Each structure stands twice: as structure tokens, then as C-alpha cells.
């Protein structure tokens, strides 16, 4: 039980095809004493439709709670789409940022869900797919520059948690943790996720200034991610790709088309590791190859 004057507010938000039960239990496991927990249930069916009404509901409830506790520190944990909902809310309410102690995203496809991009390649609005396919990396980076932010991902198959790509969870200014062998749907029930959240709250590390450093690989990845329509992909197709160009310092660009003629691009290290994997839809094929030619002109031996 919390008093009428809690020491902090903890908002937890469930994601797509879910209700608030598992996230409310997660909140109770990780919350310090005298914490008021707010765990909205947005409705299982509604999570298949549009994101905007869900964002509005969470914002309204948060507004009511913050009005009641205007000086109380806020902590936020969002799983999957729940993290995206809170990015949208915080983007709209920057006046709350000084009150937010920590933001934690768990398995959130910040740069856009590859599955949703495949389902709705033209962005026509097929259910929730268009909204979950949106790239919110710049939005998340701006928030993380002001609010201590943890992005938790898990790796079950060498490049994803079975649903969300590792690359899609990465953005500037956040601290990133990758946990082993936790399926996407199991993240909100896993003790390792709980531990990562509590450790972050107790000893928040200094965030990385940028996920893209000054080395050549980082610069190339940054340029590839700026291609319109670029979606973080899985590295499992790296071995199928063909060499497109060799860059300085031993980096190699590879390309590959799947059976639907969707163009994939990979950046490989001189040791043969996949440093980046992404794809673009048919509409952005020319944008991709313009960037590839530019990279070859700028960095080829």
C-alpha cells in the first residue's frame, strides 16, 4: 500500500496484443517502497487498431496523476509498443521532463518494427502496422538527452528477440542492455529484466553520447540509417549477400534481394562480422543505391 503522499510515481505500460496484468506485476516486483503504481489497461483489441487513441488515453491519465502530485518524481517502464506510447507522450509534454527520473524501454522497436513495415510497406494504414513501423529514433534520442534512459533488448536468435530487431532498440544518449535468450513476450515476466531495471535505477551509468561514433563503421551505419525507409533487419541473411564494394579499413558493403525483391544491405567488418543489417521497400530502392554509390565514392580504397 502507498500513502496519500507517495515518494515517486511509477507508470508502466503494456504493449501490443496485451493487457496490463503482466506489467502491473513487473511494477510491483521492481518498485521501491511508497511508490504509486499506474498501470493503464488499454484493451487487447484496441492495440490492433491505431496508436493515437492509446497515446491520448495514457497522456490524459498521466496528466491527471501529475496534477495530483506535481512535485513527485516520475519513473516510466514501457514494454514494446508501451515504450513507443510513452515516447509519444513525452514528446508532447516536455514540461514533464524535469520531473522524470528514469525512462525504461523494454523490447521497444524505436526505429520501427520490421514486421510491420513488411505488413504495410506503403504505409497505407493497415491496422496498427503503420504506427508501429514509424521511425522514432530522433524523438527517443532527444528525450534520452534530457532523461536518464535505459533500452533493454534480448537476443534469442543472433539478431532479435524473436519479434523486435536488436538494431531497432538502439538510439543516441540511451544506455543499452542486451540480455540473452528471452523471447519478446516473456520479457515482462523475466527476472533478468527486473534486475536490469533495478540496477539502472540504483546506479544509472553515464549514457553513451551517441550510438554512432567517429570511426568509419559508425559513420557508414549512420548514413545507411538515414536512407528514407531504412529498417533495421536481421543479420541471419548476411551469409546470402553478395559483395557490393570494399571500403577503407577493410569494411565491406554487401547487398541481397529476398524472394519479394526487397533490397537488403549489410556492412561487414574485415573479420567477417555483420556490423549492420537493414532493408528498404520498393519505393526507396533508388535512395538506397544513391547512398551506396556515395559511400563508395567517399570511402572506397
191 and 221 housed in the same domain:
no
Do residues 90 and 159 both lie within one domain?
yes
Over residues 133-157, the mean pLDDT reads 96
Q: Is residue 156 part of a domain?
A: yes
**pLDDT for position 83:** 98
Q: What is the pLDDT of residue 208?
A: 57
Q: Comparing C-alpha atoms, which of 8, 38, 45 is closest to residue 23? A: 38
**Given pLDDT bands bounded at 50, 70 and 90, which one contains residue 186?**
very high
Span 278-300, pLDDT tens digits: 999 888 999 999 999 999 999 98
Question: Can you give the residue range of the structural domain that contains 233?
Answer: 216-299
Rounded CA separation 49/259 (Å): 29
Instruction: Looking at the structure, tell me whether residues 196 and 222 fall in a common domain.
Output: no
Strands 149-155 and 100-106: parallel
8 Å CB contact between 171 and 140: yes
User: In this structure, is residue 207 part of a structural domain?
Assistant: no
Cell of 150: 535505459
Q: Over 60: is that where the pLDDT of 213 sits?
A: no
Q: Residue 258 contacts by C-beta under 8 Å, 6 or more apart in sequence?
A: 237, 264
The model's pLDDT over 65-107, given as tens digits with 9 standing for 90+, comes to 999 999 999 999 999 999 999 999 999 999 999 999 999 999 9
Grid cell of 108 as nine digits? 521497444
Same domain, 103 and 165: yes
Position 1 in a domain: no
Inform me whether the pLDDT recorded for 123 exceeds 70: no
Question: 80 is written with which cell numbers?
Answer: 514494446
Distance separating alpha carbons of residues 259 and 243, to the nearest angstrom: 19
pLDDT greater at residue 299 or residue 123: 299
147 within a domain of the structure (yes/no): yes
Q: Residue 141 above 80 pLDDT?
A: yes
What percent of the chain stands above pLDDT 90?
Answer: 86
pLDDT of residue 138: 95
Residue appearing with cell numbers 496528466: 63
Amino acid at each position: 500500500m502507498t500513502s496519500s503522499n507517495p515518494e515517486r510515481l511509477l507508470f508502466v505500460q503494456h504493449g501490443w496484443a496485451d493487457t496490463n496484468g503482466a506489467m502491473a506485476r513487473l511494477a510491483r516486483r521492481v518498485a521501491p517502497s511508497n511508490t504509486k503504481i499506474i498501470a493503464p489497461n488499454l484493451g487487447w483489441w484496441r492495440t490492433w487498431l491505431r496508436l493515437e487513441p492509446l497515446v491520448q488515453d495514457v497522456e490524459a491519465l498521466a496528466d491527471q496523476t501529475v496534477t495530483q502530485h506535481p512535485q513527485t518524481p516520475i519513473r516510466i517502464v514501457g514494454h514494446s509498443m508501451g515504450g513507443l506510447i510513452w515516447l509519444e507522450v513525452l514528446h508532447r509534454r516536455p514540461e514533464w521532463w524535469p520531473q522524470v527520473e528514469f525512462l525504461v524501454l523494454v523490447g521497444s522497436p524505436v526505429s520501427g518494427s520490421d514486421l510491420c513495415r513488411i505488413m504495410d510497406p506503403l504505409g497505407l494504414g493497415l491496422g496498427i502496422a503503420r504506427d508501429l513501423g514509424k521511425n522514432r529514433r530522433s524523438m527517443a534520442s532527444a528525450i534520452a538527452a534530457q532523461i536518464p534512459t535505459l533500452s533493454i533488448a534480448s537476443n534469442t536468435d543472433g539478431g532479435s528477440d524473436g519479434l523486435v530487431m536488436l538494431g531497432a532498440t538502439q538510439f543516441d544518449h540511451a544506455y543499452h542492455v542486451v540480455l540473452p535468450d528471452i523471447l519478446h513476450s516473456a520479457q515482462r515476466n523475466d527476472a533478468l529484466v527486473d534486475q536490469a531495471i533495478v540496477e539502472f535505477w540504483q546506479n544509472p551509468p553515464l549514457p553513451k553520447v551517441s550510438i554512432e561514433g567517429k570511426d568509419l563503421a559508425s559513420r557508414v551505419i549512420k548514413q545507411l540509417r538515414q536512407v528514407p525507409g531504412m529498417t533495421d533487419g536481421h543479420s541471419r541473411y548476411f551469409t546470402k549477400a553478395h559483395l557490393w564494394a570494399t571500403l577503407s579499413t577493410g569494411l565491406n558493403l554487401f547487398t541481397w534481394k529476398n524472394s519479394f525483391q526487397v533490397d537488403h544491405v549489410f556492412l561487414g567488418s574485415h573479420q567477417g562480422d555483420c556490423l549492420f543489417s537493414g532493408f528498404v521497400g520498393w519505393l526507396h530502392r533508388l535512395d538506397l543505391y544513391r547512398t551506396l554509390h556515395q559511400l563508395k565514392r567517399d570511402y572506397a580504397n
